[in-house]
């Protein structure tokens, strides 16, 4: 079921019980499907003819960023693992706004692939203005003793190593005025007893963002981050049991999970000239949780 032109605040507060056996999940199998764009929007073309690369761009927050960027006039490269149907839909949505989209499948935990993805973007568009490090995975465990060495390494390779790899490959192409935006999480600030390794990577992303912002200030490249709260994305039904999915996000001040379309404007702001005096900062679209850090 696809929701169209329905005000977010009027959508149901709880989600039906559901679970997907594959990690990182498919948006096409979610009920209801996450909202990646609003029915009525009047873009200001803040990113006219810029080029952005978005990891984890096939679905969820990544798809919403791709669509929002296209609405603001940008072309996009969408990097994803193997969710080909979701990536195809993202490409269709970008094209519906008259912008070009190239989809690039591969594992961002592999530094060689990250280099290839950047080079393919340059070959396709001739430039790169915005890098969105957004890909992530999570594997809930009740006890730290249950986190295997393999899980620990994979989570860190996907969630933070890839940010280093993509950034290193992109830097020789990013111009003065370019932007790097990293997706962290509210769990970086308050922790999560059942997502210890995931939360640790998100904390590392905050430190990475602040340090990189200082390192690139002289080059006039802004580095910022977005720390979403509970957002309705394929990570949720693919990693949590059906009962937890049903209650997801209901403990926020707003009493519901956020939609990807509600997070995407943070990335547009930071990538555009509106956010030109922001660097080393983190925005918090989280449904009302106060973050003091």
Where in the sequence numbering do the catalytic residues fall?
198
Closest CA to 189 of 267, 286, 55, 269: 286
Q: What is the CA radius of gyration of the chain?
A: 18
Distances (CA, A) of 160 to 37, 137, 157, 206, 216: 28, 11, 6, 10, 18
Q: How far apart are CA 110 and CA 207, in angstroms?
A: 22
Specify whether the CB–CB gap between 188 and 203 falls below 8 A.
yes
Whats the size of the chain, residue-wise?
293
Tell me the helices (H) and strands (E) count for the chain, helix number first. 10, 7
Decide: helix, strand or coil at residue 77: strand
Largest Cα span, the chain: 50
């Amino acid at each position: 079921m696809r929701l169209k032109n329905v005000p977010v605040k009027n959508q149901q507060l709880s989600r039906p019980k559901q679970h997907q056996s594959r990690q990182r999940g498919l948006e096409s199998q979610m009920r209801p499907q996450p909202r990646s764009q609003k029915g009525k929007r009047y873009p200001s073309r803040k990113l006219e003819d810029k080029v952005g690369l978005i990891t984890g761009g096939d679905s969820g927050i990544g798809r919403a960023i791709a669509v929002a960027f296209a609405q603001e006039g940008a072309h996009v490269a969408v990097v994803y693992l193997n969710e080909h149907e979701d990536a195809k839909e993202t490409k269709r949505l970008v094209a519906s706004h008259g912008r070009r989209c190239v989809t690039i499948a591969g594992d961002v935990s592999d530094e060689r692939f990250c280099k290839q993805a950047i080079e393919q973007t340059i070959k396709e568009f001739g430039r790169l203005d915005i890098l969105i490090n957004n890909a992530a995975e999570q594997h809930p465990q009740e006890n730290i003793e249950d986190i295997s060495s393999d899980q620990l390494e994979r989570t860190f390779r996907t969630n933070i190593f890839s940010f280093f790899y993509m950034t290193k490959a992109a830097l020789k192409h990013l111009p003065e005025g370019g932007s790097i935006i990293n997706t962290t999480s509210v769990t970086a600030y308050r922790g999560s007893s059942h997502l210890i390794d995931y939360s640790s990577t998100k904390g590392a992303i905050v430190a990475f963002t602040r340090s990189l912002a200082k390192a690139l200030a002289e080059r006039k490249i802004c580095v910022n981050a977005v720390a979403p709260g509970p957002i309705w994305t394929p990570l949720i039904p693919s990693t949590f049991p059906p009962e937890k999915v049903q209650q997801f996000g209901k403990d926020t001040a707003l009493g519901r999970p956020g939609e990807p379309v509600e997070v995407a404007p943070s990335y547009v702001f930071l990538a555009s000239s509106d956010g030109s005096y922001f660097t080393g900062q983190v925005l918090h679209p989280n449904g009302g949780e106060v973050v003091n850090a």
